[in-house]
Amino acid sequence: MVIAQLRLLPAYLRLSFMPSFWAFTFAWSAVAFAGMFWLGVTHPSGWRAESYVTLALLSVFIGAIAVRTVVALIRGQLLPSAIATMPTEGSP
């Protein structure tokens, strides 16, 4: 999964920001948890440093999406604008 997602990274970077980007955080959090769990069980050399790096990268990733969400909210780009409806014939 990681290799496939990294291969698609250039396409993802060309997309405009949408609230659905939060879906990436759940999948990557699950991958990071699985990796950290495996490191905690097997204890290969340098496992603690690898766990900290994984946690830091995941935190930066989620933080970047949170910041971009706030920016989009401030700019009025996060939620769709209200659609004005035209009065129809016979309506008050």
| Residue 47 included in any domain | yes
pLDDT band at residue 91 under the 50/70/90 scheme:
low
| Residue 60 included in any domain | yes
- pTM of the full structure: 0.74
Residue with tokens 């999406």: 65
In terms of residue numbers, what domain contains 61?
Answer: 17-75
CB 60 within 8 A of CB 49: no
Average pLDDT over residues 76-90: 72
pLDDT at residue 17 is higher than 90: no
pLDDT at residue 36 is higher than 60: yes
Least trusted range by pLDDT, from 53-57, 60-64, 79-83: 79-83
The total of structural domains in the chain comes to: 1
| Residue 89 included in any domain | no
| Residue 65 included in any domain | yes
User: CA 35, CA 75: separation in Å to the nearest integer?
Assistant: 37
| Residue 56 included in any domain | yes
pLDDT at residue 34 is higher than 90: yes
| Residue 92 included in any domain | no
pLDDT at residue 24 is higher than 80: yes
pLDDT band at residue 78 under the 50/70/90 scheme:
confident
| Residue 31 included in any domain | yes
| Residue 34 included in any domain | yes
What share of the chain has pLDDT > 70, as a percent? Answer: 87
Instruction: Please choose, from the candidates 65, 52, 56, 59, the residue with its C-alpha nearest in 3D space to the C-alpha of residue 15.
Output: 65
